Structure 1
Amino acid sequence: MPPAAPPKPLARRILGHALRLGVAAAGIAYIVKTVRWTGGVAADGSPEPGFLDLLRDADPGLLLLGLALAALSIPVSSYRWWGLLRAAAVPMPFLRTLRLTYVGNFFNYCIPVGSTGGDVVKAYYAGRGHDRGTGGKTAVWLSVFVDRCSGLFGLLVLATLVGVTQLGDETIRPVVLTVGVVVLAGALAIAGYGWGPTFRGLRLARLDRLRGVGGVFRAARVYREQGMRPVVRAIALTLAVHGLLTVSAACAGLALGLGEHVSLGRLLVVLPLCIAAAAVPLTYQGLGVMEALAISTLAAGDSADNGIVGMLLFLRGYQLTSGFVGAVLLLAFPMEKPGS
């Protein structure tokens, strides 16, 4: 067994926490500065509702529809991870995978440890009962990592696919083209890793012998030997997962009257990018980061800022709901080793 990695120096840990707290504080300050809490008068003399007015007058039907769509995304997300586990020959019932997904969401959304904390918890509990020497634990951790990466890449694919229908929008066109280039590069990388001639030509087999991470690449061989089909399926399922989540957020935006300021098509392009930005563990649930990206990219004017902030607030509320379900499952049914 390789020696455990030495702990990070105290100064580095303190610096990392200070950096994250600073970014979070900046995000909160940005939101507070952007939001107009009370109503006013627009430049054309028409009344302009404040943030609290928008929340009070929101369409409850659309908000509930958004919550239902977000809830539907959880089983599909679990099925995506379950498929990666099965492809890696890791036995696990689907219901246990679903339960671990909810528990992971609790740590992702309800505890400010970063958006990757739930992934660590999922991998830890899923790996219990598997012998490290057989590679079972490595395969579990790799499946979680691939699940996370396929989710992020799928968000970019979703934004590109919707963006193709919005190329006539001059505001959003540069964003779509930029993301499309990233998607093309990622697709070529996946195809190259899975295609035998490219794998041999670039001598990628040497990665299996790298010290420290060679075991990861050896575990990844199971996906490559299947022509990367499990990864492609995971990305395809991501379109369903984040399609539901994107539409749920759009429902919240429409419930707040955001449709008066920005087209639905533009919303459906920008929202996947905001969700991807929130997955970067800089602030709690991307606080401030999502708002800044959405406001700058949607370019809908100051009158839309309240609706954008409110939409993202409800999106976080939907995600928190799934986290609370995970908390109930964790408290009511303590996690045990498979078969114990």
Structure 2
Amino acid sequence: MNGAKTPLWKQLLKVFLKLGVAALLIAWVIGGDARSMFESVRRMDPVWVVLCFCAQFVQVTLTGVRWKFLIAKELNVSWYEAMRLAFIGLFANIFIPAGAVGGDVLKAAMLASKVEKGRRIEATVSILIDRIVGIGGLFLLALFAFCLMFRRIGELPVAAKSIVYLFTLLSAGGIGVIAVLFFQDYIFRWKFAAKLLELADRWMKGIPGSIIRSVSAYRARWKTLVLTTLFSALILHPLLFGALYFPLYGAMRELPPADVTLTASAYGSLASAIPVTPGGLGTRDAVVKTLLSAWGIPENSAVTAMVIYTAVLLLTNLLGGVAFLLPAEWRRKKE
């Protein structure tokens, strides 16, 4: 029995529902005093907006660098091709109707078309590994933030406290799931599990087994996995903290508490990873506003910072679309 393709109207309905949820969440974040928020944006020194953009642009560029290091050398993917696909994926995450994984799907299809037929699964798995490494780094940062703010979490209202505990449990569980994923071949030594995999391979023409073998093969590159995970936790995700810190400073006109801002940024990024809205629009804003306000940041400043952050995020993703206009391969002019 062949799987039927989802009708276009259902895909569009799903997209519009997600956009509706995002719009409702952003409307809740802004609240009833939009005029005051826009006045804060107008009075802000533009340098903080520029720094917010720089932090986000550097972050997405370095995310492409991380993926290049995870692509097997045997696939012969150049730096130019990797960065071009990374920016195309960035654009697709929000502006193509496939949800939060739309960019990954498009990157996988375009990368698979560039490599040998027998290595297409391996190419696709590099994108999965990149996702795993990125979310693993975010889990580590969230757990660090939880430890950093542990004594102050008890001060939070019930809603904010629930968010912190929920995403902390998710982070701890996620680290465990990632560990199991890389050692799953041991699980399939169990006869019942091996039989299930065999049936899945027959049904899906060997794809599940190929993915499992490819993921397990990355254990041989454990140093790269560890380094890219730490790179994500110590550099990539903290850059998003900077992207929030700059407009928050511009709105408050005094230094925001770094520990509070880091924690709100980490948990907001976790919320954005849940595919409820395109690119995490709205979910990130709601969580960040809730935590910042609960820890004493003026609500108007928190809202202003998040509106600027989200506007810059959309601009950065939109600029990723420029990569569509670039040639698929870099051709050097012959002298």
Give the TM-score, by structure 2 length: 0.79
**What is the CA–CA distance in structure 1 between the aligned matches of 2:224 and 2:271, rounded to whole Å?**
25
- Higher normalized helix content (fraction of residues): 2
Give the conservation status (yes or no) of the 8 Å contact 2:272–2:284: yes
Q: Distance in 1 between matches of 2:294 and 2:239?
A: 24
Alpha-carbon offset, residue 327 of structure 1: 2.4
For residue 183 of structure 1, the aligned residue among 171, 174, 180 is 171
Q: Aligned in 2, Cα 1:206/1:61: closer, same or farther, shift over 3 Å?
A: farther
Q: 2:104 aligns with which of 119, 124, 141?
A: 119
1:97 aligns with 2:60: no
CA–CA separation in structure 2 for the residues paired with 1:175 and 1:31: 16
Match of 1:144 in 2: 127
Aligned to 1:249: 244
* 1:68-83 superposed matches below 5 A: 68-83=54-69
**Where in structure 2 are the equivalents of 1:1-340 lying within 5 Å?**
5-8=3-6, 13=11, 16-17=14-15, 19-32=17-30, 34-38=31-35, 50-86=36-72, 89-111=74-96, 113-132=98-117, 134=118, 136-169=119-152, 170=154, 171=156, 178-194=166-182, 199=187, 209=198, 210-211=200-201, 212=204, 213-224=208-219, 226=220, 228-239=222-233, 240-257=235-252, 263-300=257-294, 304-331=298-325, 333-335=326-328
- Asked if 1 retains the 8 angstrom alpha-carbon contact of 2:15 and 2:99, the reply is no
Decide whether aligned partners of structure 1 residues 321 and 17 sit closer, same or farther in structure 2, where only a CA change above 3 A counts. Answer: closer
Q: Deviations over 1:260-300 (max 9, x none)?
A: 7x632111112122123223332234333223222333343
Q: 1:326 to 1:175 in 2, by over 3 A?
A: closer
Structure 1 residues 305 and 113 mapped into 2: Cα distance closer, same or farther (>3 Å)? farther
- Letter of the 2:103 counterpart: G
CA–CA distance in structure 2, aligned partners of residues 20 and 110 of structure 1: 12
Percentage of matched positions with identical amino acids: 23
Per-residue CA distance 1:152-199 (angstroms, 9 max, x = gap): 232221122233222221337776565444333333343344459955
Q: How many residues align?
A: 319
Aligned amino acid, residue 141 of structure 1: T
The separation in 2 between residues aligned to 1:222 and 1:124, in whole angstroms, is 21
Contact 1:70 1:248 in 2 (8 A): yes
For 2:291, give the aligned amino acid. T
Partner amino acid for 1:64?
V
CA distance in 1, matches of 2:197, 2:95: 37
Gaps of 5+ in 2: none
Unaligned runs of 5+ in 1: 39-49
Structure 2 counterpart SS, 1:168: helix
Distance 2:85 2:315 in 1: 15
* Aligned AA (1:296): T
Distance between the aligned counterparts of 1:10 and 1:60, measured in 2? 42
Asked if 1 retains the 8 angstrom alpha-carbon contact of 2:75 and 2:123, the reply is: yes
Contact 1:208–1:218 (Cα < 8 Å) also in 2: no
Which deviations, in whole Å up to 9, do the C-alpha atoms of 1:37-80 show, x marking residues without a partner?
A: 23xxxxxxxxxxx1122102213333322222222213321121
Change (3 A) 1:202 1:248: farther
